[in-house]
Structure 1
Amino acid sequence: MSQPIIRELRKEDILNGFLTTLDALRKASDIRTDKAMKIFEKINSNPDHIIAVAELDGKIVGTTTLLIEQKFIHDGGVVGHIEDVVVNKDYHGQKIGEKIMKYVLEIAKNRGCYKTILDCTDDVKPFYEKLGFKEIANELRFDHV
């Protein structure tokens, strides 16, 4: 069995499994190609917005996003925020999610983050706890629509 390559998102990944992988979270593969490319360019221009992917046999099968936030507190410290962790369901059980998470946690550490946080549902909490995350607070959400 091949091992996934964990790396940052490239433009050519957008139509090579990336959007289809995101479909497991919310339908993304139906976005217009030109719009997807504009979004990529905007995200790619921000060094504090990192999208990591897992490439397996030439196709993107997993992804997550790391956002780095500069703070005034903690003497100007920085915090990592993890979003949109997903692995294509056909590739579950191969530790791809764990590898992507370790990759972005290493980036956060190297960027000087004093903590990295994420929100998740109860059903996936054990996955994150196994990686060293601890439950600290409750998530609340305000929908603007």
Structure 2
Amino acid sequence: MKNLARSKLVIRKIRRSDLQKGFLESLDSLRTASNISRGRADAILKKIASNPDHVIFVAEKDGMIVGSTTLIIEQKFIHNGGKVGHIEDVVVAKQMQGLGIGEKIIRSALMYAKSKGCYKTILDCDRKVKPFYEKIGFKAHSYGMRFDH
């Protein structure tokens, strides 16, 4: 029974201990993050955790972080002071892709955004993963732009 419980996938908010359980390494699929010093990683997480509208969700399996996403909630003046969720940095460890983990992470973030009063949640993605997000219910809406500093 204990082994069965250990193999269960858990989606939850990030904890400091996750920095040592594969979180930074999982981000390497997007851009190298595992080379950040422990002190710098702790400082970044402390700053993120100080903002209740900036949440990182992780997927934990067998004591390791195998995926994550970030949700940032933006307060607006328009829409009668409505809120918009912004999903960023969706990642699942390469060896765990195709098992439904990404969808579970996104659905958790969407439920959280709704519970916090967001009237919509948006994200930018590469064309090759567009079908993944459409399967969850996202619709193409606008053209993304970027300015690099």
How high is the TM-score relative to the length of structure 2? 0.95
Task: Give CA-to-partner distance per residue, 1:10-60, whole Å, 9 cap, x none.
Answer: 000012100000000000000010000000100001000000000000000
Partner residue, 1:92: 97
CA displacement at 1:112 relative to structure 2: 0.6
Residues of 2 paired with 1:34 and 1:83: CA distance? 23
What is the DSSP-based 3-state SS (H/G/I as helix, E as strand, rest coil) of the residue aligned with 1:29?
coil
Which segments of 5 or more consecutive residues in structure 1 lack a partner in the other structure?
none
Which amino acid in structure 2 is aligned with residue 92 of structure 1? Q
Structure 1 runs, 4 residues or longer, greater than 6 Å off: none
Question: Is 1:46–2:51 an aligned residue pair?
Answer: yes
CA displacement at 1:93 relative to structure 2: 1.4
Question: Is 1:26–2:22 an aligned residue pair?
Answer: no
Question: Is 1:127–2:132 an aligned residue pair?
Answer: yes
How high is the TM-score relative to the length of structure 1? 0.98
Residues of 1 paired with 2:78 and 2:60: CA distance? 37
Aligned-residue CA RMSD (Å): 0.8
Which amino acid in structure 2 is aligned with residue 66 of structure 1? L
Task: Give CA-to-partner distance per residue, 1:55-82, whole Å, 9 cap, x none.
Answer: 0000000000000000000000000000
Partner residue, 2:144: 139
What is the DSSP-based 3-state SS (H/G/I as helix, E as strand, rest coil) of the residue aligned with 2:143?
coil
**Matched residue count:** 144
Residues of 2 paired with 1:20 and 1:71: CA distance? 34
Residues of 2 paired with 1:77 and 1:29: CA distance? 36
CA displacement at 1:105 relative to structure 2: 0.2
